[in-house]
Amino acid sequence: MQGSEHTRVHLLCTVAIAGGMMLTGREDAAYGISLGMVIGTLWITPDLDLTYNDARRNWGPLRWIWNPYASARRHRGINHTYVIGPIMRLLYLALWFAAPAYLLWTLLTRTGSWPELSVPLPPVTFVLAGYVAAQWLHLLCDGITPFSKTGRSLEKYKVKPKPHIRVKPPGAVAAPPQQR
């Protein structure tokens, strides 16, 4: 599925899920899950392993942070898995932002310890659930089910060069048709 198609399907599902939750009176869950699904649709997707894709463009001037991620893995490898892929992308982002945040905090406060943060657990859980739902929806739209062969095995078929295609060197003259 193409990036724009993914976006359309994901946003439609987000509206449907959020609408359903609103109707059942779960507004807090609706907001949190919607936010997570939008993040997992527009900014953090399995297709970040591609050099050019909508999610990377949406990072704007920060899109270069995904260069090592894309160059380290082939498309549809471990990124298109149900558990490791979503966790790996979050850890990758933490690598980029946690160390600078820690350094900044240390410089500003001249302490060597993290600030004590009181994270509101339920909203964060809803956002995470929305993020994971978006990742799984992406895989389903790509035709990858939790029980299908994913990652390397799929990729093996995708990138295999076609043996019958030969590149003609520049200036080469086409061979005359063979006489029978």
The contact set with Zn ion (CB under 5 A) reads 46-47, 142
- Work out how close the CB of 57 gets to Zn ion at its nearest, in angstroms, rounded to a whole number: 15
Q: Which is nearer to Zn ion, 26 or 75 (CB)?
A: 75
- Work out how close the CB of 142 gets to Zn ion at its nearest, in angstroms, rounded to a whole number: 4
- Work out how close the CB of 134 gets to Zn ion at its nearest, in angstroms, rounded to a whole number: 12
Q: Rounded to whole angstroms, how far apart are CA atoms 89 and 65? A: 12
Residue 55 structure tokens = 């999610």
Q: Rounded to whole angstroms, how far apart are CA atoms 42 and 135? A: 11
Q: Which is nearer to Zn ion, 83 or 98 (CB)?
A: 83
Q: Rounded to whole angstroms, how far apart are CA atoms 2 and 141? A: 10
Q: Rounded to whole angstroms, how far apart are CA atoms 180 and 77? A: 48
The radius of gyration of the chain from alpha carbons, rounded to an integer in Å, stands at 22
Largest Cα–Cα separation, the chain: 87
Q: Which is nearer to Zn ion, 46 or 86 (CB)?
A: 46
Q: Rounded to whole angstroms, how far apart are CA atoms 174 and 129? A: 59
Q: Which is nearer to Zn ion, 29 or 154 (CB)?
A: 154
- Work out how close the CB of 23 gets to Zn ion at its nearest, in angstroms, rounded to a whole number: 31
Q: Which is nearer to Zn ion, 46 or 77 (CB)?
A: 46
- Work out how close the CB of 56 gets to Zn ion at its nearest, in angstroms, rounded to a whole number: 13
Among residues 5, 137, 13, which one has the least CA distance to residue 82?
Answer: 137
